[in-house]
Homo-oligomer: A and B are copies of this chain.
Amino acid sequence: MRNFDEKDITDAVISRLANSPSPRAKHISASLIRHLHDFVREIEPSQSEWEQAIDFLTRTGQMCSSTRQEFILLSDALGVSTLVDAINHRLPSTATETTVMGPFYVEHAPEVPSGSRIAGPAEGPALLIEGSVRSVDGQPLGSATVDIWHADEAGFYDVQKDDVNLSGRARVRTDAHGMFWVIGAVPAAYPIPNDGPVGRMLEAQGRHPFRPAHVHFMVSAPGHETLVTHLFLADSDHLDSDVVFGVKDSLIEVLGTAAPGTTSYGATVETSTPVLRRDFVLGKALSGAAARRPHPQALY
């Protein structure tokens, strides 16, 4: 096969997939080639624009480090992360709604006991974060893992700062009644990191880089779908223009006030403290798109 023109090149590339050992990789590749070529035919890039695209992708990759994931930011800002999340959480459910993971999750954050202070005064005014985890059938899920991470009052996550200490971040386990609590800090709305290629893209698109104030949660328990979500603060700016399209009404919470003493979740505070409270509900495992189809360990 030779002499490809702008029409027959697409079928030519797809025909090269004939001997793929992986039906899934073959399907994804063929779809990628078709849609990518359609995109190129639609925009008719000049050679210079193609070079700019190569450079943009290269800079995006090279901006990534152990504490910065520029391709996740790109996926988030283009609405792809929200789309993938929606595809994987299709079934009507009484489970807590999901939203995007974002780029600031840290694997293997240290586990702390419930009741720990996970952010100090430097991070902002104390915020009691308390809640419970149960299954869709109402059963409390003890020993469930709850990862929590949030920005500080200036809008920065621990991993964006120079010091190496984790803060505003913890993993706790629910007690036998499915309850947990920690003391964090009231987070601020913030711009996603915009000193890199994604920031330049947002400028070219005429968009602001802000997310409304929120706290991230990842909740997992055996036999249940892992829940990746946020709770948004009801009084925050940008709820209607979140740069990563993550806001759902069901995830917006008005902060309450915990009076001195012990709350019904077992939390103890000495002074009146703002509280973010949620009873999380996990769906049973095997309900998402991921589970409906086995997927290989690594495609490429």
Contact = CB atoms under 8 A, between A and B. Distances in A.
Interface of A: 1-6, 9-10, 12-13, 16-22, 25-29, 31-33, 35-50, 52, 54, 56-62, 64, 69, 71-72, 75, 78-88, 90, 197, 200-201, 204-207, 228, 239-242, 245, 247-249, 288-290, 293, 295, 298-300
Contact of A52 (B49, B293, B300): B300
Given A205-B17, A205-B26, A3 B248 contact: yes
B54 A84 contact: no
A57 to B, nearest CB: 5
B48 A295 contact: yes
Nearest to A14: B79
A42 B38 CA distance: 14
B57 A61 contact: yes
A179 to B, nearest CB: 27
A25 B75 contact: no
Contacts of A4: 79, 82, 86, 245
A33 B78 contact: yes
Nearest to A291: B46
A83 B6 contact: yes
Given A36-B39, A61-B71, 5 more contacts: A2-B239, A17-B207, A29-B204, A31-B42, A33-B79
Nearest to A1: B240
A62 B60 CA distance: 9
B204 A245 contact: no
Given A35-B42, A40-B80, A50-B75, A204 B87 contact: no
Contacts of A242: 2
Q: Which 7 A-B pairs have the closest CB atoms?
A: A61-B61, A19-B206, A46-B290, A13-B79, A35-B39, A20-B206, A6-B86
Most chain B CB within 10 A, of A18, A27, A49, A200, is at: A49
B46 A293 contact: yes
Contacts of A81: 50
A107 B201 CA distance: 26
A46 B204 contact: no
B32 A78 contact: yes
Contacts of A46: 88, 288-290, 293, 295
